[in-house]
Chain A
Amino acid sequence: GENVEQHPSTLSVQEGDSAVIKCTYSDSASNYFPWYKQELGKRPQLIIDIRSNVGEKKDQRIAVTLNKTAKHFSLHITETQPEDSAVYFCAAEGGSYIPTFGRGTSLIVHP
């Protein structure tokens, strides 16, 4: 089955800096890669996703890149703000439509 590795497990940055979270996947058949943000005590919510027919997608301060050859994808957050502090989960999904999640990255943005 699919295996998703996510790094780092914890990321601490200063407000205004950029943050990058990286994930690798094992199944070359995976073709959909969502990212979820989970604030403390709340549910995971989709923030951005990318399908395998594109290499990059942006939405304001967040962007996701995908390298199918290397089987890795990354989340980029620019100009971080304290409200970006949360746990971020990546996932990989194929034709079964069952996502495999990474273990999560706890992002801490210091004011």
Chain B
Amino acid sequence: DARVTQTPRHKVTEMGQEVTMRCQPILGHNTVFWYRQTMMQGLELLAYFRNRAPLDDSGMPKDRFSAEMPDATLATLKIQPSEPRDSAVYFCASAAPPQPLHFGNGTRLTVT
């Protein structure tokens, strides 16, 4: 059963530190999404890529967040500098349209 792999599963860091989250999409999936989930906001779309090209990152705070896909097997989401309000679960998902999304297990980020 193919899975989207996210690392790390948990991250605790201090305010101001850089955070990097990684995602390995399912082999053959050409669309990758980054979502942020908090109790109040449901699933918030931050950015997505198709064939490694960024299509939309309007959901991200541009001054501190950046998303890249250096190759077909790796997507990264960076926060620099991190703030307490960034504490959330960050999900990566991949898809091979028109098939549905598959989510990774998420990275739970706590910024103190």
Give residues in A with beta carbon < 8 Å to B. 32, 34, 36, 42-46, 49, 89, 97-99, 101-104
Are B42 and A97 in touch, CB under 8 angstroms?
no
Specify which of A45, A49, A98 is in contact with B103 (CB 8 Å cutoff): A45
Are B103 and A43 in touch, CB under 8 angstroms?
yes
Are A32 and B43 in touch, CB under 8 angstroms?
no
Residues on B with C-beta less than 8 A from A45 are 103
The count of A-to-B residue pairs whose CB atoms sit within 8 angstroms is 37
Residues on A with C-beta less than 8 A from B101 are 34, 46, 99
- Per the bound structure, the CA–CA distance linking A46 and B71 in Å amounts to 27
Are A49 and B100 in touch, CB under 8 angstroms?
yes
Are B100 and A44 in touch, CB under 8 angstroms?
no
- Per the bound structure, the CA–CA distance linking A43 and B104 in Å amounts to 6
A103 to chain B minimum Cβ distance, whole angstroms, is: 4
- Per the bound structure, the CA–CA distance linking A32 and B100 in Å amounts to 9
Q: A97-B31, A98-B48 are in contact. Are A44 and B98 (CB under 8 A)?
A: no
- Per the bound structure, the CA–CA distance linking A81 and B47 in Å amounts to 36
Q: Which B87-112 residues sit within 8 Å CB-CB of chain A?
A: 91, 95, 97-98, 100-106
Specify which of B43, B56, B97 is in contact with A97 (CB 8 Å cutoff): B97
Specify which of B31, B42, B105 is in contact with A89 (CB 8 Å cutoff): B42
Specify which of A32, A99, A101 is in contact with B42 (CB 8 Å cutoff): A101
Are A44 and B43 in touch, CB under 8 angstroms?
yes
